[in-house]
Every structure is written in structure tokens, then in C-alpha cells.
């Protein structure tokens, strides 16, 4: 049911396990399956927010870890919140900071209470507890927030994964309690952990379902395991999550990962891949990956994809993109990032339309055929 003053999710069509729908927040709708561009430090790297919006993105992600370090959550709140600060007026989802604390911060000390760490920038000390993570996300004004969790790397031993999964469940309860004071309309998601161990994943999903969250994230995947293991874990977890709630696969992934996960019933994604790879000249396209550093583009006057709705893919020659990337010009990073975010949005728009038309399997097969066919041979000039 849609509550215009609150957070809700409506599934509008199904095709196998895949589904398309609409998340409603007070700041606007999110069409699912949705890819969320990553706005780590209150900016989607190399993009103007109006470009991001024009690509069809309904929601962006902000990183609690980075924002608590610079400029600081209290500072953002004093400046009117993250929407006002960064200029993105639609819904914003924030992570809990846990993943970056584990991957970036130094001198970490993890206890039942939370984690203390030193900033990777200047060594200053911080503490992140479930309560502080929720407080920070509240100060940022995030529309969709994440419980604090612990995310272990894979492969790992059962004892480590089990201990971490149980800790994350206790932190889910504390996060939920801390979230109760926040304004109506915001949503807190629980995060399924359990590494690559099916029974731990199921235990986590069931326990979180009992806590009754408005949405469920699947965390701790795409951390080094094969894609098959990732998809198997999603399939293991899905039957134990409420069907009527949104399912968010955190930090994933390649276009192929997205196609696979949508087929399993995932509704939301985020990943740095389109922006990070774009900065370094690797484009995602209907014809697969294209590396603009490659000399084969040097004399090619054609755009990457004249049929694209994205000006960056349509109005600039491959030779020019190659030149900009080779000379390390900012505009090269800007254009390939733009191309990639456009491709990810188009991929999700295609998925939504295909699910609504009951032909998602055909759509996924056609998209994969395009990648397999590969990029067209360069034209000589």
C-alpha cells in the first residue's frame, strides 16, 4: 500500500522470481529494480546532480564513513542535511559505515559495543556503534538507512562468520531501537549476513524478518567470492525474506551480476564500478566493456553508441575519448563516468520494462548476446 507521507513498496509486476515495483518515500518514488549511483562524499564523482537525475536515477547512495569524517554529520545537519548540502533532492540511501570501517580505517577495535577506529585521512579517532551510526544517518537526513553490521571477507572460517553474523543480528536490534526517534517516512533496513554458509544466511534472514524491517539488504557478498556463490547465497536467502518488502543487494556489481540478481528477486543495487571504472577510461556498453586506453580507438571517428540516450555516448568520437583518457584530462573521466551511469540506468529501465512485459529471461539473454557479440571493429581513417 502506498502511504504518501511514509515509506512503502508496491510490486507492480512479476516475471518468475523477478519483480518490478515502486518504492514511495516522502522525497519521491524509486522505480525498481533500481541502480543507485554512489555519491560517496556528497557528490557522484565527476557528475553534476542534474545529469544524474536526467539519466533516470531515482535515488543515490551516500557513505556514512566518508561523511562522518568529512565534513562530519553534525556539520551536514547544520547546513540543512545531505540533500541540501549536495544538491540531490530525491531520496538518498546511506550505508551504516561498517563496511568502510573494515576496509579503509586503521587501528580498528571491534567489541560488542561497536568499533573504534582511526581515520584513514588524518588518524583522528572515532567510535561507531549501532546507535551512533543511526544518529549519523539521521543527521544526514537519509531517507533509507542501514543497520550497523559487521562484514567479513570471504573465504573465511565458519566460526568467524558465525560470530560476526550473530553480532550483526544484535546490532540490528539496537539499530532498530535507535531508529525509533526519527521522523516518519524514513526507513531502516536490516542486513542479512552469513558469508557463504547457507544455514547462517537463512538464520540471519529469519531473525531479521522476525524483527520486521521495512526493507532487507543482503550484505557481505561481492567480497571476493565467485559470482555463482553470490547468486546461490541470494537464492538461499530469498525464500526467508518477506516477499512484499524491498530487497537490496549491497555493493553489487557488474552489469551481469545485476541481471542475475534481478532474476532472483533483488530490487535495489549500488556499486562504485560505473563511476570508478569510468574515471579510468573503461566504459560499459551494449557491446560489452570498452577500454578507451586501447590504441585501437585512436583514429576511430564513431561515437561509442549512436543509439544511446546519453550525449556522452552519442556526441563524442571514440578517438576523442581515447585522447582525453590518454592525456588524463578531467573531461575523459567525466564523459566515461556519464556513459557508464547512463548504461546502468538503461539496463535497469530495460529490466523493468521486460518484467512488466513478462519477458525478462529473453531480455537478459538479448543483453548478454550483445556483450558476447562485442564491440564493433574499428574503422580506419
As annotated, the binding site for substrate includes 95-99, 149, 193, 220
Interface map 48-87 toward a copy of itself (x if CB under 8 A)? x---------------------xx---x--xxx----xxx
Segment 180 to 239, residues that bind a copy of itself, using CB under 8 A: none
- Pick between residue 75 and residue 158 the one whose CB is nearest to a copy of itself: 75
Which grid cell is 270?
A: 549500488
Which grid cell is 227?
A: 559470482
124 scored as a contact of a copy of itself (CB under 8 A): no
Q: CB 129 → a copy of itself: shortest distance, Å?
A: 25
Count of CB atoms situated within 10 Å of the CB of 114: 20
In the block, residue with C-alpha cell 575523459:
332
Catalytic status, residue 362 = no
H helix or E strand, kind and range, residue 14? strand 8-15
Query: Considering only 105-113, 216-224, 324-332, 344-352, which stretch makes contact with a copy of itself by CB under 8 A?
Result: 324-332
Catalytic status, residue 270 = yes
123 scored as a contact of a copy of itself (CB under 8 A): no
Pick the binder of a copy of itself from 11, 110, 319, 356 (CB under 8 A). 319
CA distance 359 to 343: 20
Query: Considering only 153-161, 205-213, 232-240, 319-327, which stretch makes contact with a copy of itself by CB under 8 A?
Result: 319-327
**Judging by beta carbons within 10 Å of its beta carbon (0-12, 13-18, 19+), is residue 109 exposed, middle or buried?**
exposed
Minimal CA–CA distance to 86: which of 132, 142, 5?
142
327 scored as a contact of a copy of itself (CB under 8 A): yes
DSSP 8-state symbol, 244? T
Count of CB atoms situated within 10 Å of the CB of 226: 10
CA distance 135 to 350: 37
Pick the binder of a copy of itself from 30, 172, 324, 367 (CB under 8 A). 324
Where in the sequence numbering do the catalytic residues fall? 95, 270
Amino acid at each position: 500500500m502506498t502511504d504518501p507521507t511514509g515509506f512503502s513498496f508496491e510490486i507492480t509486476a512479476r516475471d518468475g522470481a523477478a519483480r518490478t515495483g515502486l518504492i514511495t518515500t516522502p522525497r519521491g518514488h524509486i522505480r525498481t529494480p533500481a541502480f543507485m549511483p554512489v555519491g560517496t562524499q556528497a557528490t557522484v564523482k565527476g557528475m553534476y546532480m542534474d545529469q544524474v537525475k536526467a539519466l533516470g536515477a531515482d535515488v543515490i547512495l551516500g557513505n556514512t564513513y566518508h561523511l562522518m569524517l568529512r565534513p562530519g554529520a553534525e556539520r551536514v545537519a547544520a547546513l540543512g542535511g545531505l540533500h541540501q548540502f549536495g544538491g540531490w533532492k530525491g531520496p538518498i540511501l546511506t550505508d551504516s559505515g561498517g563496511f568502510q570501517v573494515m576496509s579503509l580505517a586503521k587501528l580498528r577495535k571491534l567489541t560488542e559495543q561497536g568499533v573504534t577506529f582511526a581515520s584513514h585521512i588524518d588518524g583522528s579517532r572515532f567510535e561507531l556503534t549501532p546507535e551512533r551510526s543511526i544518529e549519523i544517518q539521521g543527521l544526514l537526513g537519509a531517507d533509507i538507512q542501514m543497520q550497523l553490521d559487521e562484514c567479513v571477507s570471504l573465504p573465511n572460517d565458519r566460526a568467524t562468520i558465525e560470530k560476526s553474523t550473530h553480532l550483526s543480528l544484535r546490532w540490528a536490534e539496537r539499530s532498530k531501537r535507535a531508529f525509533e526517534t526519527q521522523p516518519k517516512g524514513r526507513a531502516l533496513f536490516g542486513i542479512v549476513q552469513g558469508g557463504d554458509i547457507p544455514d547462517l544466511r537463512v538464520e540471519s534472514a529469519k531473525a531479521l524478518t522476525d524483527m520486521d524491517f521495512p526493507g532487507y539488504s543482503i550484505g557481505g557478498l561481492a567480497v571476493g567470492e565467485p559470482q555463482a556463490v553470490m547468486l546461490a547465497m541470494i537464492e538461499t536467502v530469498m525464500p526467508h525474506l518477506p516477499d512484499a518488502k524491498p530487497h537490496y543487494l549491497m555493493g553489487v556489481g557488474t552489469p551481469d551480476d545485476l541481471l542475475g540478481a534481478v532474476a532472483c528477486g533483488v530490487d535495489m543495487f549500488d556499486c562504485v564500478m560505473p563511476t570508478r571504472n569510468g574515471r579510468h577510461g573503461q566504459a560499459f556498453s551494449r557491446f560489452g566493456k570498452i577500454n578507451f586506453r586501447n590504441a585501437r580507438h585512436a583514429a576511430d571517428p564513431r561515437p561509442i553508441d549512436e543509439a544511446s540516450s546519453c550525449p556522452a555516448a552519442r556526441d563524442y568520437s571514440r578517438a576523442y575519448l581515447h585522447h582525453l583518457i590518454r592525456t588524463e584530462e578531467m573531461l575523459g573521466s567525466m564523459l566515461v563516468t556519464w556513459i557508464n551511469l547512463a548504461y546502468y540506468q538503461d539496463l535497469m529501465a530495460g529490466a523493468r520494462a521486460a518484467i512488466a512485459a513478462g519477458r525478462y529471461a529473453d531480455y537478459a539473454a538479448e543483453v548478454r548476446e550483445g556483450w558476447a557479440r562485442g564491440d564493433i571493429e574499428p574503422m580506419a581513417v
